[in-house]
Amino acid sequence: MFPGKKAFPFQRQMELRNEMQRAYCCIAQIGNLVLLLLWHILHFIVSIFYFVLGIARVAESYFISSGFLKKYKSLNLGKLRCLAIVIESEEAYQTLQVIELLQWLGAIGVKSVCLYDKEGVMKKSKQAILGKLNNAVIFEESGENDKLVDHNHMMLEFASFSDGKEAVTKAANLLFMKYLKLNKLAGDQEGQIFTEPHMAEALKAIGCKGADPDLLLVYGPARCHLGFAVWRIRYTEIVHMGPLKSMRYGSLIKAIYKFTMVRQNYGK
Query: Which CATH number do you get for residue 105?
Result: 3.40.1180.10
Count of residues in the chain: 268
- What is the spatial distance between Cα 252 and Cα 60, in angstroms, rounded to a whole number? 12
Same domain as 112, residue 48: no
- What is the spatial distance between Cα 257 and Cα 63, in angstroms, rounded to a whole number? 14
- Residue 218: inside a domain: yes
CB–CB of 139/157 below 8 Å? yes
User: Is 218 a residue whose pLDDT tops 80?
Assistant: yes
Q: What is the extent of the structural domain holding 241? A: 70-164+208-260
Same domain as 74, residue 57: no
pLDDT given for residue 141 in this prediction = 52
pLDDT given for residue 75 in this prediction = 84
- What is the spatial distance between Cα 75 and Cα 111, in angstroms, rounded to a whole number? 13
- Residue 179: inside a domain: no
- What is the spatial distance between Cα 154 and Cα 107, in angstroms, rounded to a whole number? 10
**Distances in whole angstroms, Cα of residue 195 to Cα of each of 46, 147, 192, 205, 242:** 51, 26, 10, 16, 37
User: Is 166 a residue whose pLDDT tops 80?
Assistant: no
Same domain as 213, residue 152: yes
- Domain termination site, one of 48, 68, 88: 68
- Residue 190: inside a domain: no
CB–CB of 104/249 below 8 Å? yes
CB–CB of 238/218 below 8 Å? yes
Segment 113-130, tens digit of pLDDT: 999 998 889 989 888 999
- Residue 217: inside a domain: yes
Same domain as 82, residue 62: no
Query: pTM for the whole thing?
Result: 0.71
| Residue 265 three-state SS | coil
Domain count, the chain: 2
Same domain as 144, residue 84: yes
Same domain as 78, residue 39: no
Same domain as 43, residue 150: no
- Domain termination site, one of 46, 68, 90: 68
Same domain as 63, residue 95: no
- Residue 169: inside a domain: no
3-class secondary structure per residue, 41-84: HHHHHHHHHHHHHHHHHHHHHHHHHHCCCHHHCCCCHHHCCCEE
Alpha-carbon torsion (163, 169, 172, 177), positive or negative: negative
Same domain as 228, residue 109: yes
User: Is 38 a residue whose pLDDT tops 50?
Assistant: yes
**Distances in whole angstroms, Cα of residue 67 to Cα of each of 31, 49, 110, 183, 226:** 53, 27, 19, 62, 33
Identify the residue with better confidence: 150 or 111: 111
- Domain termination site, one of 51, 68, 85: 68
Same domain as 106, residue 229: yes
- Residue 75: inside a domain: yes
Segment 48-107, tens digit of pLDDT: 998 898 898 889 888 888 888 888 888 888 889 899 999 998 999 999 999 999 999 998
Same domain as 236, residue 112: yes
- Residue 178: inside a domain: no
Number of CB atoms found within 10 A of residue 72's CB: 18
Partners of 237 in beta bridges: 215
Same domain as 90, residue 146: yes
